[in-house]
Amino acid sequence: MTSTSPRQTVLVIGSGVAGLTAALEASDAYDVQLVTKAELNQSNTWYAQGGVAVVTSPDDSVESHVADTLVAGAGLTDAEAAIVLCSKGPAVIAEMIERGVKFDMKDGKLAQGLEAAHSHPRILHAGGDATGAGIAVALIDQVRRSPIQVHESTTVLDLLIEDGRAVGVSVLGGREIRADHVILATGGAGQIFPYTTNPQIATGDGVAMAIRAGAIVSDLEFYQFHPTALDAPGNFLVSEAVRGEGAVLIDSEGKRFMTDVHPDAELAPRDVVARGIAAQMAKQPGVPVRLDATMLGAEFLAKRFPTIDAASKRQGFTWGSEPIPVTPASHYWMGGVRTDEWGRTSLPGLYAIGEVACTGVHGANRLASNSLLEAAVYATRCIEGLTSHPPVHEWDAEWGAPIVANLLDGADTVPFLRSDLQRLMWDAAGLARDGDHLAAAASQLAGWETPEVLDAKSAEDANLLIVSRAIVAAALAREESRGGHYRTDFPDVAPSFAQHSALLAKPPIQALA
């Protein structure tokens, strides 16, 4: 009688495009469980507007997409990772379409938009400015139809480590979920700042868990601030595609100002536009700048950007006939858990994909609309690599040895409010930084007490604290300005810092559970 070996198990944490894609890709060969702390549709993916950057036209090329990605990354983009991203993109998009994603069409072909720092129109959208939701709806439907075991409203506390390997997670309420392979797809950490385009769930959980487990994290100092969030409650994102269609930024007197900042004006890289807006607001002083899209007309705006149109109307703005106030807000984290191009981390058994990961593909500043593509491409790569490659990443010499940082055992005596942490991080580690304010923030963060984990919110606050400590440590160490990291005391790019940063938490390793 022949016996059949049980299938290996894969545990995916997170339900954005990275997590959903990984779960679907793994479901044919593995027993898969997918855990998310809210509902499946609560992710950064769901709120993504700008679209997916991918080569789908004979007038464009993978080489051009790679070149644009390298330029945006300010000298730190890993070229091999960028080649993987751009060359594998078309096949991944074809698979999305097979899974039911309905991208916008024009004249029977995929409609292609232009965004900042792209040399060709290559941005695909779904539902105009509801691309993320369009992708998520289709993938969630596929997950619901599959044998994947889904755990919604489930808060993961920490990774389970046995004999130096990740073997599962602990969950709020005392449960454990074990697996042969653990994949972090938990997204970013926008909630460390008071102004963010990210949803409430973006609290850096995956990076915090990885730090506590002893994994290496990289490039945490590089945070991208989207230049144009609606200056109203909720900081609703006003897509870069609006500027791609011709909208311009004006000061309090109605004059364009980005033409004096950069040759590409409103279509300059995001960090340049965000700092240009912040500088103009300081001159005004503090009065928001305005985005003037009136030349596009109300009818076009409502059709092309229905989500933004509805949001602006809810806030009492009629952007078809008057400019709307906008302000920079935290948007995307280039750093994360260090991985190779197969999603492997420094900790055996642990993988990371999407915004929680740092492959080096975004360098110091992500190219617009590369994030959804990265999540899907590297989710697919991760599952391919589970059986076809060794389980442990071999470190590239160019990444260097990690800084061992005291992230876990500070004075840890004073309780804090999340709003206090957010304000501290905005003032010290936001759009502009300097050594004195970063050092003061490091001291403040070290003195704050890690909350006792009683519920999901206290677990999130504990994660926000450790992530904030890590970001400040990385920002202090990088004495230059590059991409999303701008130091007023070191305003120039320094060749000596033309390498990725890396952090490792100083022992003892702590856990929330």
- Residues annotated as catalytic are 270
CB contact at 8 A, 260 and 72: no
CB-based burial label for 386 (10 Å; 0-12, 13-18, 19+): buried
Q: Which residue matches tokens 């102004």?
A: 195
CB contact at 8 A, 407 and 386: no
Rounded to whole angstroms, the Cα distance separating 318 from 312 reads 7
- CB proximity list for 175: less than 8 A, separation 6 or greater: none
Residue type at 315?
Answer: Q
Q: Work out the number of other CB atoms within 10 angstroms of the CB of residue 174.
A: 8
Rounded to whole angstroms, the Cα distance separating 308 from 181 reads 39
DSSP 13-63: E--SHHHHHHHHHHTTTSEEEEE-SS-TT-SHHHH--S-EE---STTS-HH
Nearest Cα to 348, choosing from 358, 359, 340, 336?
A: 340
Nearest Cα to 274, choosing from 222, 230, 226?
A: 226
Strand bridging mode 248-250 / 52-53: unpaired
Q: Which residue matches tokens 């679907």?
A: 24
Nearest Cα to 335, choosing from 167, 210, 502?
A: 502
CB contact at 8 A, 320 and 301: yes
Helix 435-447 crosses helix 456-477 at what angle (to 10 degrees)? Answer: 150
Strand order in the sheet with 350-352: 149-151, 31-35, 9-13, 181-184, 350-352
Half-sphere exposure of 165 (CA within 13 A, CB side): 10
Q: Which residues of 241-257 are buried (b: 16+ CB within 10 A; e: fewer)?
A: bbbbbebbbbbeeeeeb
Residue type at 85?
Answer: L
Rounded to whole angstroms, the Cα distance separating 329 from 426 reads 10
